[in-house]
């Protein structure tokens, strides 16, 4: 999938950020209600399979060939949860320091959820999670922003280095759900989907992101309304 330009940040969907009057604002809110956008970032060492996981979720297949991500690739998928259409905007970040350093601030800005990925066949990628979590915390990501842990490449059964119970303990200690999966194995595709769907369900169940987003887009608008939405999220 081709890289999209970074200028797309927050610019997709039906929201209109040029509010000029209260009439415009209500119109924008109406259209925003139809398509909320949840920004989910995917973080972890280079080569753990971030690009393949995001590709599997948004495109439904495993890419034949990938190259190291430079900066960020955006992928989007429209989903429907309890009758509401939601756009899941996945930020596939670069694992290599030299390809990410100028972008890190942008990754974490206004993020709604974080997916930490390690490679089950590479212990170092699991041990490095501590560093990735520190980076995330260092960018003032609120503790209310949901985070999940993903162990990828489970299809390589005979090469597994990170035992499930070790990963589970780590996930529990950091208040995260653990998903062990494979971007490659088509039989695991539902499991890959459930990573992002679970987060989208949780976000939907949280206080309305919509009004907080509006606040950000126009410094003049200060809405205090927040709505609680009940959800049947299985996780």
Ligand X SMILES: Nc1nc2c(ncn2[C@@H]2O[C@H](COP(=O)(O)OP(=O)(O)OP(=O)(O)O)[C@@H](O)[C@H]2O)c(=O)[nH]1
Which of the stretches 6-14, 41-49, 81-89, 124-132 binds ligand X when contact is defined by CB under 6 A?
Answer: 41-49
Q: Do the Cβ atoms of 200 and 169 come closer than 8 Å?
A: no
Tell me if 49 contacts ligand X by CB under 6 A: yes
Tell me if 217 contacts ligand X by CB under 6 A: no
Q: Count other Cβ atoms within 10 Å, centred on residue 151.
A: 27
120 vs 98: CA distance, rounded Å: 24
47 binds, among ligand X, Mg ion, none (CB under 5 to 8 A by kind): ligand X
226 vs 205: CA distance, rounded Å: 12
155 binds, among Mg ion, ligand X, none (CB under 5 to 8 A by kind): ligand X
Q: Give the Å distances, CA to CA, from 80 to 29, 86, 204.
A: 19, 6, 11
Tell me if 191 contacts ligand X by CB under 6 A: no
For 29-79, give the secondary structure using H, E and C.
HHHHHHCEEEEEEEEECCCCCHHHHHHHHHHCCCCCCCCCCCCEEEEEEEE
Token duo for residue 85: 């259409």
Q: Do the Cβ atoms of 39 and 112 come closer than 8 Å?
A: yes
Site string for ligand X, 169-188 (x = CB under 6 A): -------------xxx----
Smallest distance, ligand X to C-beta of residue 119, A: 8
Tell me if 40 contacts ligand X by CB under 6 A: no
Q: Do the Cβ atoms of 130 and 45 come closer than 8 Å?
A: no
Among 28, 58, 69, 125, binds ligand X (CB under 6 A): 69
Q: Do the Cβ atoms of 178 and 151 come closer than 8 Å?
A: yes
Tell me if 52 contacts ligand X by CB under 6 A: yes
Smallest distance, Mg ion to C-beta of residue 55, A: 9
Tell me if 51 contacts Mg ion by CB under 5 A: yes
63 vs 50: CA distance, rounded Å: 12
Smallest distance, ligand X to C-beta of residue 125, A: 9
Site string for Mg ion, 65-104 (x = CB under 5 A): ----x-----------------------------------
Cα R_g (the chain), whole angstroms = 18
The residues binding ligand X (CB under 6 A) are: 46-52, 66, 68-69, 94-96, 152-153, 155-156, 182-184
The residues binding Mg ion (CB under 5 A) are: 50-51, 69
């Amino acid at each position: 999938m081709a890289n999209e330009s970074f200028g797309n940040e927050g610019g997709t969907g039906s929201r209109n950020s040029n509010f000029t009057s209260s009439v415009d604002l209500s119109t924008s809110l109406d259209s925003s209600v139809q398509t909320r956008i949840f920004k989910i970032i995917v973080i972890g060492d280079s080569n753990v399979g971030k690009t393949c996981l995001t590709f599997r979720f948004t495109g439904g297949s495993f890419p034949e060939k990938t190259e190291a991500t430079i900066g960020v690739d955006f992928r989007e998928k429209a989903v429907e949860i309890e009758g509401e259409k939601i756009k899941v905007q996945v930020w596939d970040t670069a694992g290599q320091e030299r390809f990410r350093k100028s972008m890190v601030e942008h990754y974490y800005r206004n993020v709604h959820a974080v997916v930490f990925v390690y490679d089950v066949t590479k212990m170092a990628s699991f041990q490095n999670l501590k560093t990735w979590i520190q980076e995330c915390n260092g960018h003032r990501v609120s503790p209310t922003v949901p985070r999940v842990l993903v162990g990828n490449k489970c299809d390589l059964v005979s090469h597994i280095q990170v035992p499930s119970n070790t990963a589970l303990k780590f996930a529990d200690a950091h208040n995260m759900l653990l998903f062990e999966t494979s971007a490659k194995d088509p039989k695991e595709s539902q499991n890959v989907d459930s990573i992002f769907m679970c987060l989208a369900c949780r976000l939907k169940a949280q206080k309305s992101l919509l009004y907080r987003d509006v606040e950000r887009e126009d410094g003049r608008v200060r809405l205090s309304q927040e709505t609680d939405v009940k959800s049947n999220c299985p996780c």
